[in-house]
Amino acid sequence: MGVAIGDCLLDLYAMQNEGLLASESIGVAANACASNSLNALMALEADQRRRLRHRLHALLRADATATDRRATTSRHLVRQSDVDMLLPADVGDYTDFYASIYHATNVGKLFRPDNPLLPNYKYIPIGYHGRASSLIPSGLPVQRPWGQTRDGDADPKFTPTKALDYELELGFFVSVGSSLGKSIPISETEEHIFGICLLNDWSARDIQAWEYQPLGPFLGKSFATTLSPWVVTMEALAPFRTAAFSRAGGDPAPLPYLSSPSDQAHGGLDLWLEVSLLSPRMREANLPPAILGRSNFRDMYWTMAQMLTHHASNGCNMRTGDLLASGTVSGADKSARGCLLELTSRGKEPVTLPSGEQRRFLEDGDEVILRGFCEREGFRRIGLGSCSGKILPASAR
Ligand code: CA
């Protein structure tokens, strides 16, 4: 476990093993740092985690005491480029939502031009159960999956996907869990959210299109989901919280269990997300990755609290380290589309890259890079790091 400091990371694992974190006020939280996943830290009460955060602040301040400065000498500061990052947590369950009304409308239009948004959308935070076993950390390549697809009225075939896509998403982790049979009232939800990461929900659109009815996404999604290794805690995000999405006149108000004055006032998050692509030819020509979409999380129809409350509303127990993802984060403009399905209208309108190449969907060798950051005058900018993955050719079968 480490804390990101500029281009370096502070090795909390080593510091704890040398007794440098120990102090009466943070004993439990310090013990949780001697681990290779965040779960033990996530399971603590928010107040214990906050005390560790304050201790780290004190250690890293410019005016830190001489003793504190010794604790954070270069011995414990490691270059991030020298470190292989792992998944941030042991994730028991992973659920993916569909919380952007812009994404839901754009995708809906491709399949149902006259009736893009299904009647449940404005009432229920729509989601499906994802696959935790194929969550992978940023940097690991993704192999083009095989699957069953059907072209028009032809017989279905089993082939490598021809419509591989990314989805620009935000993930958030459950801190303290909930018991089976108990719901999480929306007024208490924030105490159950640890922090956020970047998430790429790789999607094979041709496999998805053939398999999704009537039970939803399955093998078109479960071959890989990439996570950024860094988790930004909710405490650090406090200055960037904003009002929940302002619903259009005529939209139904959220049902009472999905609404609280506090969530409506501060449940949103002003966070920019960006997806870019680097093709092999661009890499050879030393071109930088091309930005394909830039959106803001404040445009999400449902807040993180509403998603979590809804998830536990039937008594489904949530466990520490569970991962919930927002669904593709898209905005109103064409520049704010979070996947190729939307951006190219299912491949009909290809995008042109700076190398002159065109893309309808991802090709072998393409690298997709997600980034995210919060920015506000008077506050320090917070970055989420990056979440990247390169496409490898399908395996021989
Ligand atoms: Ca998704």
Residue 289 lies in a domain: yes
How many A from CA of 96 to the centre of ligand 1? Answer: 6
Whether residue 375 is contained in a domain is answered as: yes
User: Are residues 207 and 73 part of one domain?
Assistant: no
Residues whose CB falls within 8 Å of the CB of residue 279, separated by 6 or more in sequence, listed in order: 353, 355, 357, 359, 363, 365, 366, 367
Q: Is 48 inside any structural domain?
A: yes
State the pairing for strand pair 94-97/323-325: parallel
Q: What is the pLDDT of residue 336?
A: 98
Q: Which amino acid, 63?
A: D
Calculate how far, in angstroms, residue 52's C-alpha sits from the geometric centre of ligand 1: 33
Tens of pLDDT, residue by residue over 24-80, are: 678 788 889 888 899 999 999 888 888 888 888 888 777 777 766 666 666 788 999
The answer to whether residue 217 scores a pLDDT higher than 80 is yes
pLDDT of residue 298: 98
CA of 201 relative to ligand 1 center, distance in Å: 5
Domain match, 249 and 342 both: yes
Q: Please say if 103 is a catalytic residue.
A: yes
Task: Provide the whole-model pTM.
Answer: 0.96
Counting the structural domains of the chain, the total is 2
Torsion region of 378: left, alpha or beta (phi above 0 gives left; psi -120 to 50 gives alpha): left
* pLDDT of amino acid 64: 74
Q: Say how many Å lie between the CA of residue 105 and the centre of ligand 1.
A: 14
pLDDT digits (tens, 9 = 90+) for 106-164: 999 998 899 899 999 999 999 999 999 999 999 999 999 999 999 999 999 999 999 99
Domain extent, residue 185, equals 94-392
362 belongs to a structural domain: yes
* Of residues 1 and 362, more confidently modeled: 362
188/286 same-domain check: yes
Shared domain for 271 and 184, answered yes or no, is yes
Do 276 and 348 fall into the same domain? yes
Residue 144 lies in a domain: yes
pLDDT digits (tens, 9 = 90+) for 279-334: 999 999 999 999 999 999 999 999 999 999 999 999 999 999 999 999 999 999 99
* Domain-terminating residue out of 52, 82, 112: 82
Residue 264: which CATH number? 3.90.850.10
Report the C-alpha gap between 137 and 230 in whole angstroms: 10
Residue among 309, 302, 299 nearest 270 (CA): 299
In whole angstroms, how far apart are CA 386 and each of 231, 273, 280?
A: 11, 10, 19
Same-domain status, 30 and 174: no
Phi, psi of 129 (to 5 degrees): -80, 120
Query: CB within 5 A of ion ligand 1: which residues?
Result: 96, 167, 201, 327
CA of 203 to the centre of ligand 1 (A): 8
Is the peptide bond preceding residue 214 cis, with omega within 30 degrees of 0? yes
* 230 within some domain: yes
Q: Which one of the listed residues 54, 57, 103, 266 is annotated catalytic?
A: 103
